[in-house]
Amino acid sequence: MSHIRNEDDDGIEDSLDELIYMSKYCPVHVSHIKVVYGKGEKRANEILRILDSARNRGNVVTALCMDLVSASFQSMKIVVSMYLFELR
């Protein structure tokens, strides 16, 4: 389980890449995934596509979103909630 290094919009992809690299060797989990200063639902979907891509390559990558009501995180929460539901 990991709180990734950088959750800012301009750094999250590098942080996820680090974690996904580790998922070649063991299952990984992003704890409290979010994008600080993100650009809404479109950006949330881009981030989830990164996780999907890793999963499609056979890596075990999961994520959980904090239950926040702040408008800046709401899109990520909604999209991640739908993503987790689809995995069931």
Summarize the confidence of residues 24-47 as an average pLDDT.
81
- Does residue 30 belong to any structural domain of this protein? yes
Range of the domain at 47: 12-87
What is the model's pLDDT at position 71?
A: 44
DSSP 35-84: -BT--SHHHHHHHHHHHHHHHHTT--EEEE------HHHHHHHHHHHHHH
Rounded distance between C-alpha atoms, residue 38 and residue 43, angstroms: 6
pTM of the model: 0.69
Which range (6-10, 12-16, 72-76) has the least confidence? 72-76
Number of domains present in the structure of the chain: 1
pLDDT tens per residue across span 38-71: 677 788 888 889 999 999 999 999 888 765 544 4
Inside any domain, residue 64: yes
Residue 29: in which H helix or E strand, if any?
strand 28-31
